[in-house]
Structure 1
Amino acid sequence: MHHLRVVLMLLFAFATGSCATVATRPEAPAREVFVVAANPLAAEAGMAVLRRGGSAADAAVAVQAMLSLVEPQSSGVGGGAFLTWYDGATRQVTVYDGRETAPAGATPDMFLDDGGRPLPFGQAVLSGRATGVPGAVAMLAHVHARRGALPWSSLFDDAERVARDGFVVTPRLARFLSGDFPQLQAPDVREYFARPGGGLLRAGDRLANPAYAGFLRRLASQGPDALYRGETARRIVDRVRAGPGGSAMTLADLAGYRPIEREPVCGPYRAFLVCAPPPPSSGVALIQLLMLLERTDIADRGPADPQAWFLFAEASRLMYADRDRYVGDPAFVTVPVAGLIDPAYVAGRARLIGSRAGPPPTAGTPPGAPTPAADRTLEPAGTTHFIVGDAAGNVVSMTTTVESIFGSGRMVDGFFLNNQMTDFSFTPGGPNAVAAGKRPRSSMTPLVMLDGDRRFAGAIGSAGGNAILAYVAKSLVAAVDWDLPMQQALALPNLVARGAAFQGEVDRFPPAVVAALAQRGIMLRPGQGEDSGVHGVIVRDGRIDGGYDPRREGRVLVAPAPTRSAIRATPSRSIRAASPAAMRRASPGPSYTSAE
């Protein structure tokens, strides 16, 4: 009810005209079905379900099943997710929390060494205790039971076929296999990706996964019990309890996992109402960032203006200071959700933005805030986001993850297990400390946007660890305030400002912007921001304008909604990233090259 009061309060402000008018005006969408995902095979699996008359919930199951196979560095059935659902009939938004939970035997000091010091991340991530109880499958089954149109057993055929027959290793997957990640030394990773003659697979090699095909057959016939009970559950427990750093996870932990339905946190941004998951997600922080930006003149500027990027960076630092101090699992800590987006509080925080970047800002004291405690959470960036819209106007915006690259590096039945417990603070104390049954704080913020009549107006989300909030906010500013097509908005360079660090895609900003930011105290350096995974859609002139992050290998598919009398294969229009030359011709701002 607390979050519901926040929603009602902000809806009242929205309805009484507190939102400014912008050039991008949402309109009622045409009846089109669409899928946006980080891999073409996943997008096509979702579209195949929609063509058969499936709902967005049905297609989401098919997309996740395929992503677990073809993008294992990012998400999978061994991980967790948040799903934001827009109901086309009722125009209501519901959040489904499939975040992993700490086992009942987890303790606050589980990531400390014998001397009481935090373990090195590379050591912690490979330990058995890094894995939380997976939540994605249970959450998807819960949503399907309430929102599905097709039988659960019919949703895994494409992923099972590709797992059995094999798929071509993509350049992005191959890049991670040639990187410098602790998981690449894990025995399961080296065995699964072994190349005949030595080394790990390369781009263009073919990879089959018969173990995963077998698991999907059981998942299709048995439902979520195929993972949470029986032989797979026993193998998960055995795998995580093995050393080094064995987990306390039990079969009871798996059998007892339950997803949670939550009220979204909603807030106004320009002509839209933005709805995102509440804690333990960081949706409230993203809404706060948008509200901070709305109190600047960033909308009157553009991507070529260094002052726009300065304002974005300073607002981001204020948001992260509050987010890091207050957001955690609301079942364990008091999160001042209403206070963090209280208009008066946000206005006061916005007044701290000066003409030059200073020392890292400290957290404020929003209404209802508890006594703050320091937080030292690390949050790596192995995640993916996808969006599905069905013929009934329902929309899924879902961010899903195994946490780091290939999760913990431990595999069961052809899928990797998450390392989500390393999303907790390694140091006891603070809002995100480890506790039995607790859900770690997350930056995953799959959101939907509504117009003034609560019609669907857009959806967006991203991969990227704690940088997700910056990636999504940048993309919304570009698409809404600067009126760029969604594909161009996602392609703009990233800037992630948190504490004393200013990181981003230095080589993709015009040199004049980098120099002007330096004069304002922002020394932009490479780092976080190099590998975002933003996917978004926005309704323009009654049509779906979709985009995928050109830093990944995604696809946008849009097709006419199938009719009841003729549910059959329907040609879809595939939206690919514009070439750099085309983007230069279309954009009034500076040119940016694709990362590909």
Structure 2
Amino acid sequence: MRTRFLSVILTIIALLPTIAFAVNEDLAPESATGILTQKQISARHQLVVTAHPLATQAGYKVLQQGGSAADAAVAVQAMLTLVEPQSSGIGGGAFMLYWDNSKQQLSAFDGRETAPASADENLFMTGEGSPMDWWDAMVGGRSVGTPGVLAMLELSQKKYGKQPWASLFSDAIEQSESGFTVSPRLHQLLASKMNPGLGRYPQAREYFFTPAGEPLPVGYQLTNPRLAGSLRQIAERGASALYEGPLSEEIVAAVKQASDNPGKLEQSDLKDYRAVERQAICRPFRQYRVCGFPPPTSGGVTTLQILRLMELAEQQPLTADTVDFYHLLSQASRLAYADRARYLADSDFIQVPVDELLDDEYLQQRSKLISPLKDMDKAHPGELPAKISRADDRSPELPSTSHFVIVDRWGNAVSMTSSIEMAFGSTLMAGGFLLNNQLTDFSFVAEADGKPVANRVQPGKRPRSSMSPMMVFDQDNHLIAALGSPGGSRIISYVAKNLYLKLSSDTSLQQAFNSPHVVNRNGVTELEAGTSAEQFAEPLQALGHEIKIRDLNSGLHGFFRQTDGSWESAVDPRREGTARGD
């Protein structure tokens, strides 16, 4: 009896990492805050689409003053740091696709956070040798990676900007000093207490809550003079103001002084940080060329896999009002997410078989596993020609994120996804902005069955992401679309679904964004609550799907080029984004 009991206990202990991550994967990075009717606009010359009206206005103003898309991106991110602090900011990281229309050149700028030089694979292990609970790891200094978004913006703006760097922060500085109105969305996210650490540390507690401890009410005029001071330093000195000097000292002090969960970030990590320009990955889909971001994000590879698998397995193009579409999307997603868990991570540290995963012969073989009559259940990673011995990743990846797109009067364009990870990040603040908790995107478990996990923690490494900024080109290499979304590991599914719908029919991009979400990350099939997706529950169950109905809170923003050459905006109705153009 004692032997049997010990066996059960050991089995439970072995499963604890999987159980913990399954629970966390079920969470949303930001809770849903209702549906808004979004106004679709058409612009002949230039267009900005962001997650907040003030950010949209800041970017559009830069374009009106003769700035490029790279200039406008700096202004947008500076404003988002103030008005959408739960989602992104200069304390986080980002990936940007930039299209230089004059040179017909696509660049991929990597501003992902990095692990401190003193971090190792035991960063998120307890003294007993088991993985930390995700919530315990997420709040405080341990999860803070070296912020990268500002260095990335400076790198891209130096190459493609037309306006003085300092001028791009004017609106955000002024708005920080005069204040902005707390929106229903920000209030609800504060009231939901979805990030349990938000009231733990004094700076964030005093900034986001009243003296009585209540979340700031809707309509409250929130000022941030500390952020204004930080942005003023950055405007005057460039990105180095964040990576060296008093502001870097303040960031490191915040990380170290979180005594309940201190981090390893040092000033040398900030000083040594470098943004990287990488090569975008592009593959054909229908008559188009679809381009995404390479590792360390898994978004580009996995999205392109899903699209091609659907194209290979379909009998004809499908629409969002059919069970066949969601059945096909779910199975293609299972296969792609299985490969993602095994093979994708920071390519500067491990071999990432991008070409092999996107090889058409390989995907044709994988597509044969898709059945129109029955769900395949849990998919296994594919066997690649070059044998790679790896264990599957275990990271919940719950980014609280923002996506925006910009096209300027010269046809240059930005598709950028920016994040601080979980809503309100680590909940530590420095210089008036929140610090990320992106290091929890690493696998807490470094190996399994003697095999290394690709996405394990290593010094200076960038954690794997799901951020999926995308661009689409026609056969003449004309840019026709840009889009992306927040949503944690579900980002890939949101983006793939909408790309398929738009590029397979004459539906507008806005109509695609309005359609309900169905997500499968190689587990249960999730149907978006309160939408027409619920009607597919029984038909999908009949095909063998395990169904869960839940909020699926994307934040898609994009544009599509019309036949007359104008740009048509698309804004996700699930958030408070807007579009402006002329």
TM-score, normalised to structure 1, is 0.87
**1:271 equivalent in structure 2:** 287
Establish whether residue 449 from structure 1 lines up as the match of residue 472 from structure 2. yes
Distance 2:140 2:231 in 1: 26
What does residue range 124-273 of structure 1 map to in structure 2 within 5 Å?
124-179=137-192, 180-187=194-201, 188-242=203-257, 243-273=259-289
**1:330 equivalent in structure 2:** 347
**1:33 equivalent in structure 2:** 46
Q: Deviations over 1:294-337 (max 9, x none)?
A: 11337533122101110011101111000111000111111110
**1:358 equivalent in structure 2:** 376
**2:405 equivalent in structure 1:** 387
CA contact (8 A) 2:333 2:522 kept: no
- Measured at CA, do residues 272 and 30 of structure 1 come closer, stay the same or move farther in structure 2, by a change above 3 Å? farther
Q: Which amino acid aligns with 2:436?
A: N
Establish whether residue 537 from structure 1 lines up as the match of residue 559 from structure 2. yes
Distance 2:274 2:188 in 1: 35
- Measured at CA, do residues 505 and 298 of structure 1 come closer, stay the same or move farther in structure 2, by a change above 3 Å? farther
SS in 2 for 1:525: strand
- Measured at CA, do residues 437 and 511 of structure 1 come closer, stay the same or move farther in structure 2, by a change above 3 Å? closer
Distance 2:218 2:278 in 1: 41
Q: How many Å apart are 1:197 and its aligned residue?
A: 4.3
Q: How many Å apart are 1:441 and its aligned residue?
A: 0.4
What does residue range 394-405 of structure 1 map to in structure 2 within 5 Å?
394-405=412-423
Q: Deviations over 1:472-501 (max 9, x none)?
A: 011112222132211111111111101222
**1:14 equivalent in structure 2:** none
CA contact (8 A) 2:69 2:412 kept: yes
CA contact (8 A) 2:149 2:418 kept: yes
Q: Which amino acid aligns with 2:558?
A: G
Q: How many Å apart are 1:106 and its aligned residue?
A: 0.4
Establish whether residue 116 from structure 1 lines up as the match of residue 129 from structure 2. yes
Gaps of 5+ in 1: 1-28, 560-596
CA contact (8 A) 1:299 1:481 kept: no
- Measured at CA, do residues 299 and 207 of structure 1 come closer, stay the same or move farther in structure 2, by a change above 3 Å? farther
**2:26 equivalent in structure 1:** none
Q: How many Å apart are 1:511 and its aligned residue?
A: 4.6
Which of 481, 506, 519 does residue 458 from structure 1 map onto?
481
SS in 1 for 2:547: coil
Distance 1:113 1:173 in 2: 34
Distance 1:55 1:366 in 2: 42
Establish whether residue 80 from structure 1 lines up as the match of residue 87 from structure 2. no
Distance 1:38 1:32 in 2: 21
**1:406 equivalent in structure 2:** 424
Q: How many Å apart are 1:30 and its aligned residue?
A: 8.0
Distance 2:546 2:83 in 1: 37
CA contact (8 A) 2:405 2:558 kept: yes
**1:432 equivalent in structure 2:** 455
**2:111 equivalent in structure 1:** 98
Q: Which amino acid aligns with 1:393?
A: G
Q: Which amino acid aligns with 1:239?
A: A
Establish whether residue 310 from structure 1 lines up as the match of residue 323 from structure 2. no
Which of 536, 539, 545 does residue 513 from structure 1 map onto?
536
CA contact (8 A) 2:527 2:533 kept: no
- Measured at CA, do residues 370 and 193 of structure 1 come closer, stay the same or move farther in structure 2, by a change above 3 Å? same
Distance 1:399 1:369 in 2: 33
Q: Which amino acid aligns with 2:198?
A: L
Distance 1:496 1:139 in 2: 31
SS in 2 for 1:358: coil
Distance 1:304 1:125 in 2: 39
CA contact (8 A) 1:295 1:350 kept: yes
SS in 2 for 1:161: helix
Q: Deviations over 1:530-553 (max 9, x none)?
A: 211111111121221211111100
Q: How many Å apart are 1:184 and its aligned residue?
A: 2.4
SS in 2 for 1:431: coil
**1:468 equivalent in structure 2:** 491
Q: Which amino acid aligns with 2:351?
A: T
Q: How many Å apart are 1:510 and its aligned residue?
A: 4.9
Q: Deviations over 1:141-193 (max 9, x none)?
A: 01111110000000011111111011111111111101132232332322111
CA contact (8 A) 2:399 2:420 kept: no
- Measured at CA, do residues 324 and 203 of structure 1 come closer, stay the same or move farther in structure 2, by a change above 3 Å? same
**2:22 equivalent in structure 1:** none
Number of residues of Structure 1 aligned to a counterpart in Structure 2: 530
SS in 1 for 2:297: coil
CA contact (8 A) 1:336 1:369 kept: no
Q: How many Å apart are 1:358 and its aligned residue?
A: 3.2
Establish whether residue 59 from structure 1 lines up as the match of residue 72 from structure 2. yes
CA contact (8 A) 2:471 2:482 kept: yes
**1:563 equivalent in structure 2:** none
Distance 2:544 2:221 in 1: 49
Which of 472, 490, 500 does residue 523 from structure 2 map onto?
500
**2:580 equivalent in structure 1:** 557
Distance 2:496 2:480 in 1: 16
**1:44 equivalent in structure 2:** 57
Q: Deviations over 1:312-371 (max 9, x none)?
A: 111011110001110001111111100101000001111101121132010001333521
Q: How many Å apart are 1:249 and its aligned residue?
A: 1.4
CA contact (8 A) 1:34 1:557 kept: yes
Distance 2:260 2:198 in 1: 16
Distance 1:298 1:200 in 2: 52
Distance 1:402 1:440 in 2: 13
Establish whether residue 349 from structure 1 lines up as the match of residue 366 from structure 2. yes
Q: Deviations over 1:373-414 (max 9, x none)?
A: 121111003001000111111101000000111110000011
Taking only aligned residues, the RMSD between alpha carbons, in angstroms, comes to: 1.4
CA contact (8 A) 1:299 1:477 kept: no
Gaps of 5+ in 2: 1-41, 448-452
- Measured at CA, do residues 71 and 299 of structure 1 come closer, stay the same or move farther in structure 2, by a change above 3 Å? farther
TM-score, normalised to structure 2, is 0.89
Q: Which amino acid aligns with 1:49?
A: V
Q: Deviations over 1:426-446 (max 9, x none)?
A: 111301000000000010111
Q: Which amino acid aligns with 1:402?
A: I
